[in-house]
Structure 1
C-alpha cells in the first residue's frame, strides 16, 4: 500500500514540475516575443496595447457578469454574450433611427445618456424574462436541461439580432466626440478614452461588490 501511495505522489510531483516548467517556458517566450515587437516598433506596440486594453476591460465586464450568473444559479449561460450583442444593436438603432441624432454636441450627449438608461432597463427586463420563463422552471431538473435551454435561448437572441439588424456589416455615426490624442506616434481616440473612463470604474465597483460586500460574498458562496 505504501509503495502505491509513494508511486502516486511521485507521479503527482513530476506532473506538477512539468506543468510549472512548461508555464515558465511559455512566460519567457511571451516576454521575448513582446520585447522583439517593442524594439521593432515601439509606437505600434503601444498602439496595439491600448487597443487590447480597451477591448479587454469590456471583456472583463462581460466575464464578471458571466461568473455572477454561474455563482448565483450555477448555470453556464450561453445567452449572456448574445444579450450584450442585442443591447449593442438596440442602442445603435435607438440613437440613429429613433432620435435621429448622428452628430456630437450637448443634445447628442443627452440622447446618449437616455440611450444608456433605456438599454440598461431593456436588457435587464429581457434577462429577468429569460430567467423567469426559461431557467426558473428547470432549477431542480438535471443539469443538462438548463444547459440545452441556454443554448436555445442563445439561438433565439441571435435570430432576433439577425432579423432586426441583418447579417451584413453596418456602421453608425457615433454621438461621442470625434478626434484623437497623438503622443510620440501613438494615437488614442476620444472614444477609447471614454471607454476607459466608463468601464474601469464599473469593473472596480463590481469587483468590490463581489469581494467585499455581504451580498457579493453570498453570490460567490
Structure 2
C-alpha cells in the first residue's frame, strides 16, 4: 500500500508492502528495517523521505498521534491511501547543491516510480478479480508484463542516476557530506524496495497467467 506523508509543505509517497501484516509474528530484529511492522519501523521509513529523526517525529493519523513504538501497524487500521501528518524538527540542508539534486531525483523520478508502482498494483488487482474472459485476461497480462519490464528498467536508471551524484564537493563540509550520503542511501533503498515490489507483482502476474491458461 502507499501512504501519503505530509511534512510541512512537502508531500511524499511512502510504500508499505501489501503483506506487511503477515510479518507481525516475525521475531524482533536488530535491524529496524526488518521484522514486524511497528510504529518504530514506520518512523524509520518516514525518516527516509523527511530527513527527520524518529525520536523527533510526531505522527498523526486520522487526528490521533501514533503512540508506542512497539505497537503493530495492523492494530492501527492504517489503509492504502491514508494520510500521515508528521511534525518535528528535520535537517535543514536545502541550500546545498548536491542535496538539492538528490531531492530533485526524489520528487521527480522516484515520485513518478511510486505512482507507476501503485498503478501497476491496481491493474493487477483488477485482473485478479476475474471479470474478463481467459483470452482477455491473457492479453492484458502480456501487456502488463511489458509495463513491468519498463518499470524495472526505470528503477535501474534511477539507481544509476543516484550513483552518479558526486558527494565529494570541495566546498562541502564533512557534516553536509554525511547528510548527502545518508540521503542518497535512503533513496537507493527506496528504489530497491520498489524493485522488490516489482518482483512481487511479476510473480503474481505469472501465477495468474498460469492459472488462467489451465
TM-score bracket, normalised by the shorter chain, equals: under 0.3
**Richer in strand (by share):** 2
Normalising by structure 2, what TM-score?
Answer: 0.26
The answer to which structure has the higher helix fraction is 1
Higher RCO (C-alpha 8 Å, min separation 6): 1
